[in-house]
Amino acid sequence: MSNQNIKVPKSLPVLVSLLFVGLVIVFKSAINIDSGKAGVLFRTFGGGVVTDEPALGEGFHIIAPWNKVFIYEVRQQELFEKMKVLSSNGLDILLEVSAWYMPQTDKLGKLHQQKGLDYLTRVILPSLRSAARSVVGRYTPEQIYSSKRDVIQNEVYDETKKILDDQFIQLNEVLVRDVTLPTTIKNAIEKKLKQEQEFLEYEFTIQKAEKEAERQRIDAEGKATANKILNASLSSNILKEKGIQATLELANSPNAKVVVIGSSKDGMPIILGNQ
């Protein structure tokens, strides 16, 4: 059996090359966006960042191989920051703050065009720091430590939100997690608060004693008034009448007795013996 030369079609290398190029194009054109993320399309030959169309959503997309897609996390995220700020009297306060934020998905193209992927450090962090310094600077350490924590938290949120609303970022919440004062200041405030608490307890005890004394005074005055009214109503004639009634009742009693008529000082009968 004779060997025959296998002839390779001249078009095969071209076909293989075209197939390879096609695979590269498909690979470069295909993009998958994970859950909780969105993509901003950049058209290399078509005006750059797309801002007038919605961002690319989750799932599989085909784009021109010369274009690019920038992926953003669009779920709520948390920024934790520990910063030094000054109180109204110039003392250092260490503030630990968390901010919950997310990009505005319908404006993701503008966010990418004007701020970029690092918008957290370019926009959110400076805004949060500025708002915290402005708000804390209105209060004394004592106010911050005792009663103004929730107020400060709300004010920091409001001021930060005002800045971010025009920056294509949605701020959901600001939390003041901890406030640390200088040790000497903290000890002085705690001592003062303890003294105030003791004073309030002492005042309460005094007020309680005063109220009890007032109650007893009113009770005694009531009894004295009642006795005064009673004494005023008991004339000698009334007393004699009561005595006669009592004598008659005793006279009808089955017990043995001796009744002496008119022998008492006021002429009332005297009853001797009770059986």
Give the model's pLDDT for residue 65.
84
**DSSP-derived secondary structure for 133-170:** HHHHTTS-HHHHHHT-HHHHHHHHHHHHHHHHTTTTEE
CA dihedral 221, 225, 226, 232 (to 10 degrees): 160
- Could you tell me which of 161, 41, 175 has the C-alpha nearest to residue 98? 175
CB 113 within 8 A of CB 140: no
Decide the pairing of beta strands 270-272 and 48-49.
unpaired
| Dihedral (CA of 70, 71, 76, 82) sign | negative
Tell me the β-bridge partners of 38: 72
pLDDT of residue 271: 54
What's the predicted TM-score (pTM) here? 0.61
pLDDT of the residue at 69: 93
Mean pLDDT, rounded, for 173-186: 82
Residue 64 pLDDT: 85
Is the per-residue pLDDT at 263 higher than 60? no
Where is pLDDT greater, at 33 or 272?
33
Which token pair is 223? 């009894």
Residue 189's pLDDT is 61
Q: Please give the C-alpha separations between residue 20 and each of 13, 15, 53, 101, 203, in angstroms, as whole numbers.
A: 10, 9, 33, 44, 91
* Residue predicted with more confidence, 240 or 30: 30
Residue 9 pLDDT > 80: no
